[in-house]
Chains A and B, each alone.
Chain A
Amino acid sequence: MNEKVQRLVMHAFRGIPGEMTVDFGKGDSVVIYGDNGTGKSTIADALEWYFTGAIELLSHEGRQHAVRYVGGETGGVTSVEVVTSGTLGGRVDFPDERNAEAFHAIRRETFLLRGRTLADFINKTKTEKWKALVEILGLDAIESLREDLQRARNELRKISKGAEEEVRTYLRALTSGSEEATHDTILANLQQFCVMLKVEPPRSLDQLADPSWLTGVVGATPAVSEASDRESLLAEIKTLSTPTFDPGGVEAWNDLVSSGRARLLPRASLVREAKRLFDSGAIDKGRCPLCGQAVDDQSLAQRIESALVEVMEASRNLERFGDPVAQQADDLEAAHDKRLSIQNRARSMKLELPPVPDIPHAALRSSIETLAPVAIAAIMSSLSDIRKWDRAAGAQARKASPREPSTRDTQLVMLAALCQQVNAWRVADHKASRARRALDLAERVFDAYQQKQKEDLAALLSAVSRRVAQIYSTLHPGEDLDAVSVEPWTAKGVELAIDFYGSRQRPPHGVLSESHLNSLAIALFLAMAERFNEQIGFLLLDDVINSFDVEHRGRLAELLADGFSEWQLIVLTHDQQFFEHLSRRAPSWRKLEFTSWSYASGPRTTRYETPGILGNARERLESGDVHGAASRARRALEELLQEVCEALWAPLPFRRGQANDKREIGELLKGVRRTLKERAKPLLESIEPLLKNLEADVGATLNVAVHASRGRPGASEVAAALDRIAALDQKWSCSACMTRVWHRGTPEAARCKCGQSSFPPARI
Chain B
Amino acid sequence: MHRPSAHEFLRTLLETLDDLPPDFVRRLEEVLKKEDGDRSQAIRRLFEEFAGE
Give chain A's interface residues, CB within 8 Å of chain B.
Answer: 108, 137-138, 141-142, 144-145, 147-149, 151-152, 155-156, 434-435, 437-439, 441-442, 444-445, 448-449, 452-453, 456, 531-532, 534
Contact = CB atoms under 8 A, between A and B. Distances in A.
A152 B41 CA distance: 6
Contacts of B12: 452
Interface of B: 1-6, 9-10, 12-14, 16-17, 20-21, 24, 32, 39-41, 43-44, 47-48, 50-53
Contact of B44 (A138, A155, A456): A155
B10 A438 contact: no
A581 to B, nearest CB: 32
| Secondary structure call for the B interface | helix
A534 B1 contact: yes
Contact of B47 (A441, A532, A534): A441
| Secondary structure call for the A interface | helix
Given A441-B51, A448-B13, A449-B13, A141 B43 contact: no
A224 B52 CA distance: 38
Contacts of A152: 40-41, 43-44, 47
A452 B44 contact: no
A448 B17 contact: yes
A156 B14 contact: no
A536 B4 CA distance: 18
Contacts of A155: 40-41, 44
Given A142-B6, A452-B13, A531-B1, 19 more contacts: A138-B3, A152-B43, A156-B44, A156-B47, A156-B48, A434-B51, A435-B51, A438-B47, A438-B50, A438-B51, A441-B24, A441-B50, A441-B51, A442-B47, A444-B17, A448-B13, A448-B17, A452-B9, A534-B2
B53 A434 contact: yes
Contacts of A442: 44, 47
A73 to B, nearest CB: 46
Nearest to A451: B13
A150 to B, nearest CB: 8
B43 A148 contact: yes
B47 A141 contact: no
25 contacts: A108-B3, A138-B4, A141-B6, A142-B5, A142-B6, A142-B9, A145-B9, A145-B10, A147-B40, A152-B40, A152-B41, A156-B47, A156-B48, A434-B51, A434-B52, A437-B51, A439-B47, A441-B51, A445-B17, A448-B16, A452-B9, A452-B13, A531-B1, A532-B3, A534-B1
Nearest to B48: A438
Contacts of B1: 531-532, 534
Contacts of B20: 441
Contacts of B16: 448
B9 A441 contact: no
Interface centre among A148, A156, A435 (most CB of B within 10 A): A148
Interface centre among B2, B5, B44, B50 (most CB of A within 10 A): B44
